[in-house]
Structure 1
Amino acid sequence: MKKLSALGLDIGLRRIGVAGCDGLGLIATELTTIERSSFNDDVVKFKEIIEQREVTILVVGVPYNREGEIGFQAKQVMKYAQRLAHHLQLELEFVDERFTSVEAEEQLRSSKKYSRQNKGLIDKRAAAIILQLWLDGR
């Protein structure tokens, strides 16, 4: 079986939640939250993670609207993701991320790890949910 190394991303305006998977592509786990600054700084931060984990593909959650259509925010996320994948020379796939942040918040509340002050926890949990959806769909 070929090793799989994917990164799941929950891209927001201020932060990007990041998740990775085991080499078999079965289980997604939270990794970190990247505080966004300039695009070039973001690329540098991602390069470090990609080199450490030998990543070959980015899996990005797209925030479709309730009707399942691509709105303004979804277009912004897709544009950023395409630019990032191009700069990092990685494959890119998109996943419908509707309600992943809500699910992430609920999971954190039930595990007693929820904190209103630490939005980064929600972002990286949402990234893990996005990546797990992709892994399960393979």
Structure 2
Amino acid sequence: MAASEGTVLAFDFGLKRIGVAVGNTFLRQAEALSIIHAPTNDGKFADITRLIEQWQPVLCVVGLPMHPDGADNEMTQRCKRFANQLNGRFNLPAVLVDERYSSAVLANSRGEFIDDDAAALILQQYFDETP
């Protein structure tokens, strides 16, 4: 899906944290933005609302986790639902990007994923694969 020109927000969805990255369709460079730590769904969407009001994106990109063979895992449906919620709540197109190999590259020294950097990698993958 080709987006309108403008800002794009990307999300690395997790149950405890959501990594967020930003980029734009002109420069096509992703940058880590923030990590949402809100404990409730309402709190998470309040934080997302503030980001959307601030950045005025034309598109949202959501990482889609799957098993290495392409089969769904326990988070696949949750991420699809999250993308649908972004579309429904904010009337923004939401594109899913295969994130099978993105997060593992970004493990920190304790073996944890860095959520906003993972979101940036997902967004950069979207830019690199979209004409």
The residue aligned with 1:85 is 87
Q: Which amino acid aligns with 1:131?
A: L
CA distance in structure 1 between the aligned counterparts of 2:33 and 2:12, rounded to whole angstroms: 12
Deviations 1:77-108 (A, max 9, x none): 11122123311221110000012111122xxx
Unmatched tracts of structure 2, length 5 or more: none
**CA deviation after TM superposition for structure 1 residue 22, in Å:** 3.5
Distance 1:23 1:99, change over 3 A: closer
The answer (yes or no) to whether the contact 1:18–1:30 under 8 Å persists in 2 is yes
**CA deviation after TM superposition for structure 1 residue 3, in Å:** 3.2
The residue aligned with 1:132 is 124
RMSD between aligned residues = 1.9
**What percentage of aligned pairs have identical amino acids?**
31
Q: Which amino acid aligns with 1:5?
A: T
The answer to whether structure 1 residue 123 and structure 2 residue 123 are counterparts is no
Aligned residues: 127
CA distance in structure 2 between the aligned counterparts of 1:61 and 1:16, rounded to whole angstroms: 11
Unmatched tracts of structure 1, length 5 or more: 106-113
The residue aligned with 2:54 is 52
Structure 1 runs of 4+ with >6 Å offset: none
Instruction: Please show how residues 1-138 of structure 1 align to structure 2 within 5 Å.
Output: 3-22=5-24, 24-105=26-107, 114=108, 116=110, 122-138=114-130
**CA deviation after TM superposition for structure 1 residue 6, in Å:** 0.7
Calculate the TM-score normalised by the size of structure 2.
0.86
Q: Which amino acid aligns with 2:86?
A: L
**CA deviation after TM superposition for structure 1 residue 66, in Å:** 1.4
CA distance in structure 2 between the aligned counterparts of 1:43 and 1:85, rounded to whole angstroms: 12
Structure whose residues are more often helix by fraction = 1
User: Which one is further off, 127-136 or 66-75?
Assistant: 66-75
